[in-house]
Structure formats: C-alpha cells, structure tokens
Amino acid sequence: MEYDTAVNGIKKHLIQQSHPNQYTYIAELMDITHPSNKHPKMDHLVCFMGGSFILGATEGDNVYDAKVQNSEDVRLGEEITETCYEMYNMTATGLASEIVYFNTDNQTDGPDMDIHSRDRHNLLRPETIESIFLLYRMTGNEKYREWGWKIFESFEKYTRLDEGGYSALRDVTTIPPIRDNRMDTFFLAETLKYLYLLFSPSDFIPLQNYVFNTEAHPLPVFTPKNNL
C-alpha cells in the first residue's frame, strides 16, 4: 500500500528527537539523495501526522478494541501530537507559530524548540486540533480534551474580534499580539469543526464508518468492488 510505503519512509528517514526533552518531530530532508542530511525544522502543517499515524494503526477503532495500544505507530502518533501541543504551550499567547526549529545538540541546555522571527505568525491552522481530536477518539484519554480546550481558550482570547470573526496573528510570542486582519476559510471548515467534534459524543460521525478528507469533510468509508 502507498500509505505503508510512505509511513515506513518517514519512520526510517525523518523521525527525530530534540534535546533535552526528547520531543519527537518529523525533520525535512535537505537532499533526497542523501537521507542523512536532515533539517531540524517542522511546519505546523506537519502536525496532522500525529492523527494519521494512529488512524492508520486503528482504522478508526479504539486502540484497545484494535489491540494496537502498544504499537509503534500509536506511540509515534501520541509523541508527535504532544510535540505539536508543546508548540502552542511554549508561546506567550498559547498559540503555535507557523514553523519551529529543534535543538539537536545534546551538549547544550537550551530549549527544545526555537521560533525564528519570520515564522512567528499564526494562521488559525487546524492540523494540531485534528490530531488531538483523533487521539481522543481512539484512546479516550481526557488529556486531549484538556489540550484542545486550552487551545480554544487562546483562540478566543487573542484572535476573536468584537465585530465578528477571528483574525490570524503576526506574532504569537508577544502580548498583546498584532492581528493580521485575515481569516482563512479552513478555520471555519476545519479548526472549529475538529474542536466541535473533540467535545461531541464519540458515536457522532464514528471513525469506523467515516473518513475526513483534507478539508475535514466526512465521507463514508466504502469497500471497493470489481477493482473500483
């Protein structure tokens, strides 16, 4: 399967850990012909992978029903999602920057993550909330709801506009943050939808029967017939 091939390549070449707290992240290859040459950088866009790892392991079932609670993919899904949550938890606003860089030097006592000045903006992206939702559905661990609620409170506090709507931020490391006066449609279609689902009953849009596409639209799972 193409999914298995891609995931195995990620696990073999891209999974790394930071120092000193050993946060798991997915690095970037500088040159695909030299897989040892990695860039310790991860975009917020990559944070959907935490949920993808656990969804691939369970196919939508609870990890205990699927008997995969101790599998490598479930562990990686949990660890990557924790890293993405820490991208929020590390900032003054409680909202993640667009990109973080990781400390790979085990001889230094610096922080695990660093935000460069050009990457301090937040576009109200959904990927971390998506993974938090999937992790909650498939593990039942209440900490994921706590993480999601904390992020939602930060969105409400710093991005909600009195006149209506929400605004992206130019710098998540300063208070008060400067607003960017834009709201991408994915905030409504994905970010808020996954937050809603996180606090909905677990039998609402069951993951055994539905799959969410890249824009968070639920589609029924089907069994291919006659090679279709």
Give residue 9's region: left, alpha or beta (phi > 0; psi -120 to 50).
alpha
**Is 214 labeled as ligand-binding?**
yes
Active-site hit among 98, 127, 130, 190: 98
Going by their DSSP bridges, the two strands 41-43 and 38-39 should be labelled as: unpaired
User: What are the backbone angles phi and psi of residue 59, rounded to the nearest 5°?
Assistant: 55, 35
Which amino acid appears at position 211 of this protein?
Answer: V
Q: Is 146 a known active-site residue?
A: no
In this structure, which long-range contacts are made by residues 217-225, counting pairs with CB atoms below 8 Å and at least 24 apart in sequence?
A: 217/189, 221/60
The answer to whether 103 and 113 are in contact (CB under 8 A) is yes
Task: Decide if 204 contacts 225 (C-beta within 8 A).
Answer: no
Distance CA 16, CA 104 (A): 9
Helices (H), the chain: 2-13, 49-58, 72-89, 127-139, 143-158, 185-186, 192-198
Binding-site positions for Ca(2+): 214
Binding residues: 214
Instruction: Please give the positions annotated as active site.
Output: 98
